[in-house]
Amino acid sequence: MKTQEIKNVTLEDVDFLKNLGVWVEIYHHLEKGLLQQCFNLVKKNMEALYRQSSFGWDDSEKLKEMEMEKLEYICIFEKTSKKLVGFLSFEDTVEAGLTCLYIYEIQLDEHIRGRNVGKWLLKNASILAYRRNLKYIFLTVFSANLNALNFYHHFDFVPHESSPQEKKFRSGKVIHPDYYILYTKSRKDW
C-alpha cells in the first residue's frame, strides 16, 4: 500500500487510484474554477433530493456553504481529461459535544461510481480523523437517498441521538424525517 502526503495530510493506498486512471489532490481552499466544478457535481447529484426536502435548493446558499473557510477538500481528477470526477469535503469540529471530522459531501460522477472510490474517500477520511485525534466521523444524509444510507450503514454509521427520528403512528404509518445525522468511530485502519 503506497501513501502520499499532500499539505501535511497523508492519504493511504494512492496506487488504487492510479490503477483507475485518476489522481487525488487536497485543498484547504478552492479557487473559483474548482469550486464551480465541485458545485456543479453537487447540483447534478443532489438538487432533486434537496428540492424533495423541506430545505429546497438555493444555488447561492450551497455555494456559500462550500466556501466556508474551515472546509477541506479531497478532490479526484481523471488523468486524461483532468476533469473533476469526485470529491469529499469536511471540517474538524465538535458535534453534539464530540470532537469529530464532519463530512459535508461525498460526491462522485456517475461513471466513477461502483469502483470503490467512495469507499476509498471514506476510508481516508476515517484515517485522517484518527490521526487528528478526532474520535468520530459525522455526516448528514437525506432519508430519501437510499443508496447513500445503505453505503454508510455498510461502514457502521448509525443515527446519532441528536438525529431527527422517524414518527410511527398507531395506524402503522411511518413518516421519515428529511435527513439523518449519522456517525461512527474513526479508525486507523480498514
Percent above pLDDT 70 for the chain: 95
Torsion of CA 107, 109, 113, 95, to 10 degrees: 0
- The CA-based angle 9-76-79, given to 5 degrees, is 120
Over the stretch 140-189, which tens digit does the pLDDT of each residue have? 999 999 999 999 999 999 999 999 999 999 999 999 999 999 999 999 88
In angstroms, the CA 18 to CA 114 distance is 16
pLDDT surpasses 70 at 5: no
Pair 103, 128: CB distance under 8 Å: no
Torsion of CA 118, 119, 123, 125, to 10 degrees: 20
Q: Which fold has domain 3-185?
A: Aminopeptidase (3.40.630)
Mean pLDDT over each residue of the chain, to the nearest integer: 92
pLDDT surpasses 80 at 30: yes
Angle between helices 32-52 and 59-66 (to 10 degrees): 130
Sequence spans of domains, the chain: 3-185
What would the grid cell of residue 38 be? 465541485
The confidence band for 39, taking pLDDT boundaries of 50, 70 and 90, is very high
pTM greater than the 0.85 cutoff: yes
47 CB-near residues (< 8 Å, 6+ apart): 57
In angstroms, the CA 10 to CA 2 distance is 10
Over the stretch 46-90, which tens digit does the pLDDT of each residue have? 999 999 999 999 999 999 999 999 999 999 999 999 999 999 999
Q: Write the single-letter amino acid at 184.
A: T
Backbone angles phi, psi at 101, to 5 degrees: -100, 120
